[in-house]
Structure formats: C-alpha cells, structure tokens
Amino acid sequence: MKWSKSLIQTLRDNPQDAEIDSHKLLMRAGLARKVAGGLYAYLPLGMRSLKKIQQIVREEMDRAGALEIVSPVLQPAELWRTTGRWDTMGPNMFKLRDRGEHEFALGPTAEEVFTDIAKGLISSYRQLPVTIYQIQWKFRDETRPRFGLMRSKEFLMKDAYSFDTDAEGADRSYWNMYRAYERIYARCGLKAVPVQADGGDMGDSMTHEFHVLADAGEDGIAFCDGCGYAANLEKAERRAAPCADAGCPAFEEVATPDARTIEEVAAFLKLPADRFVKSLVYVADGRPVMVCVPGDRDVNDVKLKRLLGAKSVALADFETVLKATGANAGFVGPVKPADAALRVVADVSLKGATGRIVGANKEGYHLKDVDLARDTKLSDADFADLVVVQAGDVCPKCGKPMVIKRGIEVGQVFKLGTKYSAAFNATYKNDKLEEHVMIMGCYGVGVSRTLQAVIEQSHDKDGIIWPAAVAPYQVCICLLDPAEPEVAKVADELESALEARGIDVIVDDRAERPGVKFKDADLIGFTVRVVVGAKGLANGGVEIKRRDEDKSKTRVVAPADAPAAIAEALA
C-alpha cells in the first residue's frame, strides 16, 4: 500500500474532548473519527487493526469449539419482556418503534435472542454441550460517553453463550472460554489479568473480568502479591478484625454547629477521622436502613445488598433521612434514631468499638463516647464486611496487605445458570426422554474496546507502539527520495518481498521531509520502520528499527537481506 493513496490523516493537536492518552492517539494517528458524541467511524488504519483483533477472537472461538452465527441488532421487545429486562434494563437501552408501532431495542447484549434461538435449535442432550457466538455491534445509551471507544454508544462486541445439561458441563464450558480469552489477549499483545467480579443480579454466581492494567482505567482492582487474589473493588473482600477498644464513660452530646462532614467535625473536635462512625441512611427495596462504617471508609453497595438480601439499595433522600432519624444527613447516628424500628447495620471493623463519635440525630449535635454494643441495637448479625477495599487492607485469602490498581475491562466470562433458559423454557430431553432446562454461560469480549486498550497499554510520548499481531501495517517503509527511480525501485521490491512473506507494509511515498515521515510513523506506531534513501543505499543499505527500540538499535542491512531481517524484527 502506498501512503499517497491511503487517506491517512494525522493530526498535530489532541482533540479537546480526549482525556486519556489512548483516546488522543486514536484520533491523532487517524485511526478513527468522531461522528457525534460517543459515535465513531473507523478509518482505514483503525479498521485494519479492528479486523485483526476480530480475526484473533474468531480463530480462538472456533478453536474452542464455538459456532459463529449473527443475530439482528434490532431485537423485538417481546424477547426482553420474557425475562422482564425490557423494564429493568433502564435508560441505557435504546428503544424504538417501527411504523407498525411494534417495539424494539438496539441490542446492548443478546442473552434473550440467543436463548430463543437455542430453544428452537436444541431438543436433545445429544446436541449438548454447545457454545454459539457472534461478533456484532452493540448499543448503550451512555449518560456521558467518554474516553473514545472505551465508553461509546456503539461498540463492537463478541458475545458467546454456552448451553449445557448439568453444572459440571457448565463449569467446563466456563473454563474453556476463560482459557480462550487468555489466548486472545496474549495474541493481541495485551497483558490482561483475570479478576473476580460481582455477579450482579446473579448473586454469588461465578464471574471473572479480564482487565488491562492502566492508570486511566475506570475500574479499581484489589491485588494480593502474596497469593494472587485479584478482585474488582465492587467485589473485593477484606479480612478485618473487631476492635479491642477499652471501655468508655457514658456518651454525651456535643454541639458541632455548621460541621456536617466527617472532615469538618473532625477539625472542629480536633480528633482523627477514624474515631468517627460515618452513618448513612439507605433505602433497600423500599425500606430505610442505617449503615455505619468507620469515618474514613466508603460503603460498598454490593456488599450491603448481600448482607440485607436486597435487590436494590440506594442512598435515601432528604425526607426519608429526616423521618427515619429525626435529623438531616450529617447529624445522624445509630443511637436512638427517631424511627425506633430502623434497622442499623455496621462494618465488621466496628464490632467492639467504644469511645466513638456519631451524629446525635439532632441538628447541630454529635455524641461522643459511644459504645456501639452498649448504646445501640446492633447485634452480631448486623455486622459484616461492608466497605470498599483500600490499599493496605488484609487479603481475605492469605492475610497479606493488598494493593489497588486501575484496570480497563476488556472481557468477562459469566455463569448464568438457568435464569434465561428457565424464562424461555429452553429445554432438552435427556436419555430417558425427560425434559430439563439447559444451563447457560455468557462470555463477552469488547472488540473495539480492546483496540483502544492496546493503545493505552502500549504507547510513549511519540505515539502508539503496535504489537505486530494487531498493527494496522506491521512495517512502514519511509521512502526518503521518492523521485529517484533507483530508490523507489528498491522500496517497491522490498514491499513485494515482504508481502510475499505475508507481512503487511505501507510505503510512505509522500513528497514530505524525512522528519515529517518519521514523526508520522512514530505517531501511528507501525511495529517496524524501514528507511530507504539514496544516501543510505550508497552507504550500504536500508535502515531497520523496531518502534519500541531507540535509535541506537538501528541496523543497516543490504536490500537483499532486508526481508529476512524485518521478519526477524517482527517475530
């Protein structure tokens, strides 16, 4: 391919809405172009990398025995109503009507469609296990699309669904996909780590997310170097001992006018934040509940849900707080709330806590010297691990301190059980002709997101550094004297020789200065750069350098030896 015919357009400046490096580079290197907020066109270079990632995903799915199909983007509402998700998916789902007033969704995922298809295709245990997948565009009406392809309204996803006769089979299907994902990311040149994640509606069911570690990642992940424990902060647990506080005198009220936040009260009373109990009123499935955590910690909603056995939890509004406690948020606490029947729960680290400061349930006042066991209704069953894990918290598995890193989620594997197959009555007959519901798993790879994750993980100040497997072109030949027939001939022959080896190559034949060509080659980040010029040829050959190497590693080889040397540099 000749650069002059490639419609490549690099940009000098970062787009204004780009917050993270990979988004900036995606646009500056001319891989994609914004059509509207959260909507992107993939330009020729970006399309080439996207197709390479798709192909890796496809090959590994096929190798794992999965069968490719494609289902419509436009999905009828009836399928979503079968599982109740037409109503529970919320405003993230694009909904529309056709001219006959029939309702449809632009698929954000495809559990319903695939379960319905499997129900129609599968009748006997002899057809199982089976995994079917597609690579298809998905849609989410993001409140705030950002980070380029990371959080866009339209994205390319591989989604797979497994169907099994029993739990052991479903387990095998799960790990089969898990291993396929490890291969996919490794082949894309990505370091993606599997981490335990929250099962959401599915309760304790098994799920792993694959994360690319990057400071720009939206997800926090707790890691233990001691035993390898890794979990999304939504899910991450910690081991916390009850406190061994000494007794304290009877509590007393202290005036804390105008001090509402822990920081303000701490400053006012000149006490450290961890002496405070932070009390928050939540509404769990419609009923108020007070949650107490150490003053310097945050409540983990997922853990709270689990302790309460609730379907939904959310912070209570102003009126609910006032009615339940008798005060406004900022002055509420677990001692004698206005609603004597208000349930109070607390983080396990507060068990045995004495001498604490809590809100007095009275505007402008706190209580000091509170003994939670003595002064509240908290019983043993009300204590649990309820906070978001922080760096230094103790690993639940081995007891070593954990660290927190940031990650970009590029894939997830999930055991679904019978949630969807039961709703659709998707059954098979066993060898005794008895009918049973199939057991399912679902497995997603964010294909377009993976493209950007590669850039986020592999770049420097000059631009992208593409791993050879997913580079738009693996080799860029910078032709320094395109007007000189002899030099152009060497470049043409080298291009043909590389293509004959299955290496894709672009020849920068523009009438630009060398500096411009080098800058663009570095910005786009072709894996290997080859410089062909009259001066170099007179001095013995062409210059070969990998994008991830510095100038000192440049080697000069005779044109005849260049194809082999380039192939070696790519390997």
Segment near Zn ion (CB under 5 A); pick from 14-22, 216-224, 246-254, 451-459: 216-224
CB contact set of 373 (below 8 Å; sequence gap of 6+) = 352, 354
**Gap between the Cα atoms of 563 and 496, Å rounded:** 10
Min dist CB 298 to Zn ion, Å, is 22
Please give the C-alpha separations between residue 399 and each of 29, 54, 237, 487, 516, in angstroms, as whole numbers. Answer: 46, 41, 11, 65, 55
Q: Name which of residues 379 to 418 contact Zn ion (CB under 5 A).
A: 395, 397-398, 400
Min dist CB 178 to Zn ion, Å, is 20
Q: Which of 193/307 has CB closer to Zn ion?
A: 193
Site track for Zn ion across 244-283, x = CB under 5 A: ----------------------------------------
Place of tokens 């890193």: 405
Min dist CB 224 to Zn ion, Å, is 3
Q: Which of 396/411 has CB closer to Zn ion?
A: 396
> Does residue 223 touch Zn ion according to CB under 5 A?
no
CB contact set of 443 (below 8 Å; sequence gap of 6+) = 131, 133, 159, 160, 161, 162, 177, 181, 411, 412, 413, 414
Q: Which of 405/415 has CB closer to Zn ion?
A: 405
> Does residue 224 touch Zn ion according to CB under 5 A?
yes
Min dist CB 294 to Zn ion, Å, is 22
Residue type, 315: L
Q: Which of 184/222 has CB closer to Zn ion?
A: 222
- Interface residue with Zn ion among 37, 91, 200, 226 (CB under 5 A) is 226
Min dist CB 389 to Zn ion, Å, is 12
- Interface residue with Zn ion among 163, 229, 414, 428 (CB under 5 A) is 229
Q: Which of 134/196 has CB closer to Zn ion?
A: 196
Q: For residues 546, 550, 552 and 553, what is the CA-based torsion angle, rounded to 10 degrees? A: -30
**Gap between the Cα atoms of 86 and 115, Å rounded:** 16
Total binding residues toward Zn ion, as defined by CB under 5 A: 8
Q: Which of 2/239 has CB closer to Zn ion?
A: 239
Segment near Zn ion (CB under 5 A); pick from 220-228, 236-244, 373-381, 558-566: 220-228
Q: Which of 120/226 has CB closer to Zn ion?
A: 226
Would you say how long the chain is, in residues? 571
Min dist CB 397 to Zn ion, Å, is 4
**Gap between the Cα atoms of 147 and 218, Å rounded:** 10
Please give the C-alpha separations between residue 22 and each of 50, 150, 253, 460, in angstroms, as whole numbers. Answer: 15, 9, 54, 10
Sign of the Cα torsion 420, 423, 426, 429 reads positive
User: What token pair was written down for 387?
Assistant: 């906070």
**Gap between the Cα atoms of 194 and 186, Å rounded:** 12
Q: How far from each other are the two terminal CA atoms of the chain, in whole angstroms?
A: 22
Min dist CB 394 to Zn ion, Å, is 9
Q: Name which of residues 113 to 172 contact Zn ion (CB under 5 A).
A: none
Min dist CB 123 to Zn ion, Å, is 46
Q: Which of 58/239 has CB closer to Zn ion?
A: 239
Closest alpha carbon to 184 in 50, 69, 58: 58
Min dist CB 219 to Zn ion, Å, is 19
Q: Report the Cα 176 to chain-centroid distance in Å.
A: 21
Q: Which of 238/547 has CB closer to Zn ion?
A: 238
Contact positions vs Zn ion (CB under 5 A): 224, 226-227, 229, 395, 397-398, 400
